[in-house]
Structure 1
Amino acid sequence: MAPVPKTMSGILIEEVGGPEVLQWKTDLPVPELKDGEILVKNEFIGINYIDTYLRTGLYKAPLPLITGREAAGYVVASSSPDFKEGDRVTYLADHSYAEFTAVPDVSAVIVPDDFSTEQAAAALLQGLTALTLIREAAGIKQQLGISQGPFVLVHAAAGGTGLLLVQILAVNGAKVIGTASTPEKLALTKENGAAWVINSKEEDVTARVKEITSGNGVDVIFDGVGKATFDANFDIIARKGTVISFGNASGAVGPVDLFKLTPKNAKLVRPTLFNYITTKEERRAFTEELFELISSGKVKLRIHDVYPLKDVARAHQDLEGRKTTGKLLLKV
């Protein structure tokens, strides 16, 4: 294996703002390893909405910053007994928008032999987010048949996390309603397991949900949109239902009046993936289940496009402009 260089290419943020603050650099220092870390030469990097929150300052982080939260590649140096040089890995860790990333060994997993590196980069963060939201936040387990599961609404169902939510929910017997903004996205949502789809731009979502559920509302709502959809959720939710707010694609949700929950005895949760996979055992169990769902063909990954790393600003523009379906990747 070739020696590790002293400098690398990557994306640096020196001030928060629009996509223009994502600066392409070719002279960044390669990270030095601490005990229990591996140095990964990234091949494919996953783009996620959290990257835009860090870029705009919605989520605070010290500057200057190399952002990015997931990637896949191979180990070029290791100070961990669990990994060796040449291992193909995927990981959830900070600073992935670069040629090399120092990754805590607890944050990395070996890529299965039947996965490409591209698939591994596309699967991890959004796949684990969808799976943990379903299992932990919603408490939905495998059902015997589609007619026996709960009614579930997925906002922005054609996005990267949305499509995975729809597929895993359908596999687990939920009766899935998906919203999307174009006929193409609606068709894609239906192809991936939604029993009903609603055009969020042209239809009254609340009225359609009540029509579909005979006026009862849905048992669970998965809302990664945020500000634009939040208030309507409390009209759509069924008695004793659960509203899961997990994203801010349209802007952050403001302060919440708890009395919104009273008319339906509803529950509201605002979870984050990393509190569901804090231990090595949790991370391993959810990752193994996710990889099995994909390997078996029950869940299919959709990669919308792959951009060169230096074109990351264009990728952020497409993501924020709702121009994508499925997963966006960067190629190093």
Structure 2
Amino acid sequence: MYSTMTYSTLITVAQLKPLVGKDTVILDCRFDLSNPKGDKTDQLSGRQQYQKGHLPGAYYFDLNEDLSGLVTQASGRHPLPDFDILAQKLSCCGVFPSTQIVLYDNSRGAFAARAWWLLRHMGFESVAVLDGGFNAWVKANQAIDRRQPSPRQGHSSLPIQYQNPVTHLSELKKSLFGSGGAENTCLVDARESKRYLGIVEPIDAVAGHIPTALNAPWQEATSEEGFFYSRDIQKARWEKCFSQNNDSNAESKVIHYCGSGVTACVNILSMVIAGYPFPTLYPGSWSEWSCFEELPIEGESH
């Protein structure tokens, strides 16, 4: 029997199985940051992985082409996309405002969570990340397809409501350095500790972190197999994070950032699973902040 239950954070393989082939829209978000165009002969890009095999009926959404906007010299590496264009793409996948949408990757939710945040921001409520991702589906011996599904007719003009809080560079500076601003703002850096501390920086030109930021590496939200930890564990994780700063707590304005506004979305999903209200995303993240020499930086090299 077709389930009428909707999912807004996570969905398991067992829960998804009876929804495949129904009105549910599945988006494959696999991506390889080191091989985005598939130029390397020894590894597959996300699109090539999709072509080799994906969940039945899944459409492919590329981080650079579908889930990000145009990069400029002053922007981060993955600016927010044009939401009208994204809405058109979703419509061609058969999406209506009430459609159950399921997202997956094979990177511990890194790219699926970005798509989840974007769609929730647009106003879609029934959007869920497949817990354990593509690997969990395969391990459960579920069907794999190589065919690209045909376009489907969705809502001709999907409404965009912009629900989740976002902060941009000028607003973040006011939050941190304005009169009394930092006292009410808890900034969280999702990158691994060595990048946060400025010990290494494999991607951006400058190492370090934004002043006052706490560190909560996004990988801590999941197991190595890509399964998100329970609500209680997620909540304990954030209580520990906020305790790093006696002036920061869950009642503060919590702002998440990472390298380019992608893996910070895993931390946002983690907080929502834990029962917190939607925190704020700084989409430009470190790749934008570090573009401006006049902005302060903390870390071992500064």
Q: Normalized per residue, which structure has more strand? A: 1
Normalised by the length of structure 2, the TM-score is: 0.29
Bigger RCO (CA 8 Å, 6+ sep): 2
Q: TM-score, normalised by structure 1?
A: 0.27
Which protein is bigger by CA-based radius of gyration?
1
